[in-house]
């Protein structure tokens, strides 16, 4: 098997990956990726072809293949499909060891390979929007709108900010999840390509999401959205930016979102919660990768305690004026405890919070919809949570 694999690795070229439609702006990074000695395009292709078959195997068989027994942390047991993904990732070159451009290419490639395959079933519209503010400057951003074909107009809308540690990712890497939420909830979903660090460090991504939110809210009707039901949300770094946006809406006085959907959010840049130490470097989002992200984004350790970076550290009065929230965490995720504490602080301040921990899942599961039935099940739960939040908001509107 190793001889066969080595023969494939020797023959793979950049051209072999053109079918994955890697953009021209990423070619330099892709060539760097393929030149790595520890992982190549062929290795990635084979690993993820394997993962695509994971949910067809009995879980007992998966556990036997991936170490012999389920991995546990205290009372939590890692799901079989998640264990297969973690097992595979440990045999790949760590993300943070790549040059920045190659890291972005690899993240996009992995996202596409782990997502659902085939053309989108919904209408997808791309648009460049012009933003200009004192804090953010004069710039253009891309937004992407996912619209269900057969739903009432106008419809509730989720403005989504992707994860990726403020440094990688974009509308492409999170398109599958945005499509899935739009399909399951019949909402319009607008994905925002905010600027990335380290080229655009903190607080520029914060200003991007704030200005983009205000532009989208002002043009919601044009985008097919119901102005009464405009939510914000995001995963990981995008969850951080969503929480910060809601806090700044109160502090600066711009329009407050009707609700917030925070998926395994980063809320405390100090990284002092027990789950950071508990996970170590074993479960996808490693301590070294988190350090690289935060250093690249903040570029100063002193900024870790600023509420615009660490929304968990905001004053209690700010928490009292936050919109209803959905907060989701994962059992096998360094960010688990800080996400849970954020939900607890919101609740203690009198905010309606729907909190759910998927104790068997890994950080980043929303990007695994094409290879994990467990991720699909969790996405269905999140969809139901969003529909429940919308129903409560509608009840308030009609009361």
pLDDT digits 0-9 by tens, 13-31:
444 444 334 344 444 444 4
- What pLDDT does 109 receive? 82
In this predicted structure, the answer to whether residue 4 has a pLDDT above a threshold of 50 is: no
Tokens 């793979």 belong to 12
In this predicted structure, the answer to whether residue 201 has a pLDDT above a threshold of 60 is: yes
Q: Which of residues 395 and 199 earns the better pLDDT score?
A: 199
- What pLDDT does 16 receive? 42
Where does CATH 3.40.50.1820 sit in the chain? 123-398
In this predicted structure, the answer to whether residue 38 has a pLDDT above a threshold of 60 is: no
Q: What is the mean pLDDT of the chain?
A: 87
Query: Domain 123-398 carries which CATH code?
Result: 3.40.50.1820
Lowest mean pLDDT, pick from 92-101, 220-229, 256-265, 341-350 = 92-101
Of 264, 286, 287, 351, the closest CA to residue 314 belongs to: 351
Report the distance separating Cα 93 and Cα 33, nearest Å: 10
- What pLDDT does 18 receive? 46
59-370-259 Cα angle (round to 5): 105
In this predicted structure, the answer to whether residue 347 has a pLDDT above a threshold of 80 is: yes
| Catalytic residue from among 89, 111, 191, 236 | 236
The predicted model gives 222-250 an average pLDDT of 98
- What pLDDT does 5 receive? 32
- What pLDDT does 210 receive? 99
- What pLDDT does 14 receive? 44
- What pLDDT does 48 receive? 58
Kindly report the length of the chain: 399
The SS3 assignment for 303 reads: helix
% of residues, the chain, pLDDT over 70:
84
Establish whether 219 is a catalytic residue: no
pLDDT band at 52 (very low <50, low <70, confident <90, very high): low
| Catalytic residue from among 174, 242, 363, 383 | 363
DSSP code of residue 121: S
- What pLDDT does 9 receive? 34
- What pLDDT does 55 receive? 63
Burial code (b: 16+ CB inside 10 Å, e: under 16) for 93-117 equals bbbbebebbbbbbbbbbbbbbbbbe
Establish whether 363 is a catalytic residue: yes
356-357-360 Cα angle (round to 5): 140
- What pLDDT does 121 receive? 76
Residue 211 main-chain phi, psi, to 5 deg:
-70, -40
In this predicted structure, the answer to whether residue 240 has a pLDDT above a threshold of 60 is: yes
pLDDT band at 246 (very low <50, low <70, confident <90, very high): very high
Cβ 157 vs Cβ 225: under 8 Å = yes
Report the distance separating Cα 280 and Cα 102, nearest Å: 24
Max Cα distance, the chain (Å): 70
% of residues, the chain, pLDDT over 90:
67
Determine how β-strand 353-362 pairs with β-strand 325-332: parallel
- What pLDDT does 225 receive? 95
| Catalytic residue from among 211, 268, 333, 354 | 333
Cβ 43 vs Cβ 113: under 8 Å = no
pLDDT band at 6 (very low <50, low <70, confident <90, very high): very low
The predicted model gives 356-365 an average pLDDT of 98
Establish whether 16 is a catalytic residue: no
Report the distance separating Cα 95 and Cα 169, nearest Å: 13
In this predicted structure, the answer to whether residue 142 has a pLDDT above a threshold of 80 is: yes
């Amino acid at each position: 098997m190793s001889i066969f694999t080595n023969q494939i690795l020797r023959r793979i070229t950049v051209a072999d990956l053109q079918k994955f439609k890697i953009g021209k702006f990423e070619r330099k990074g892709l060539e760097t990726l393929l030149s790595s000695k520890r992982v190549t395009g062929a290795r990635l292709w084979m690993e993820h072809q394997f993962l695509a078959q994971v949910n067809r195997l009995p879980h007992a068989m998966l556990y036997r293949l991936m170490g012999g027994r389920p991995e546990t942390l205290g009372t939590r047991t890692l799901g079989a499909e998640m264990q297969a993904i973690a097992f595979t990732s440990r045999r790949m070159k760590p993300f943070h060891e790549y040059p920045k451009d190659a890291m972005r290419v690899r993240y996009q490639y992995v996202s596409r390979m782990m997502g659902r395959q085939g053309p989108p079933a919904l209408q997808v519209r791309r648009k460049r929007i012009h933003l200009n503010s004192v804090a953010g400057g004069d710039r253009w951003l891309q937004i992407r709108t996912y619209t269900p074909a057969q739903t009432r107009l106008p419809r509730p809308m989720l403005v989504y900010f992707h994860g990726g540690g403020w440094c990688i990712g974009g509308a492409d890497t999170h398109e599958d999840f945005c499509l899935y939420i739009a399909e399951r909830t019949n909402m319009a979903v607008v994905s925002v390509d905010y600027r990335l660090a380290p080229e655009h460090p903190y607080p520029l991504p914060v200003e991007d999401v704030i200005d983009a939110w205000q532009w989208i809210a002002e043009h919601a009707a044009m985008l097919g959205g119901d102005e009464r039901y405009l939510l914000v949300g995001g995963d990981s770094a995008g969850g951080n930016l969503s929480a910060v946006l809601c806090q700044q809406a109160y502090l600066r006085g711009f329009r407050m979102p009707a609700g917030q959907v925070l998926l395994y959010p980063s809320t405390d840049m100090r990284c002092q919660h027990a789950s950071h130490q508990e996970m170590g470097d074993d479960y996808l989002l490693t301590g070294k990768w988190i350090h690289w992200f935060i250093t690249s984004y903040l570029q100063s350790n002193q900024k870790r305690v600023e509420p615009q970076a660490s929304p968990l550290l905001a004053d209690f009065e700010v928490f009292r004026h936050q919109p209803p929230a959905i907060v989701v965490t994962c059992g096998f995720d360094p960010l688990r405890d800080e996400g849970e504490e954020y939900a607890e602080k919101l609740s203690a301040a009198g905010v309606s919070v729907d909190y759910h921990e998927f104790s068997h899942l890994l950080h980043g599961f929303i990007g695994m919809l094409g290879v994990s039935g467990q991720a699909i099940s969790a996405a269905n739960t999140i969809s139901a949570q969003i529909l429940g939040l919308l129903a409560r908001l509608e009840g308030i509107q009609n009361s």
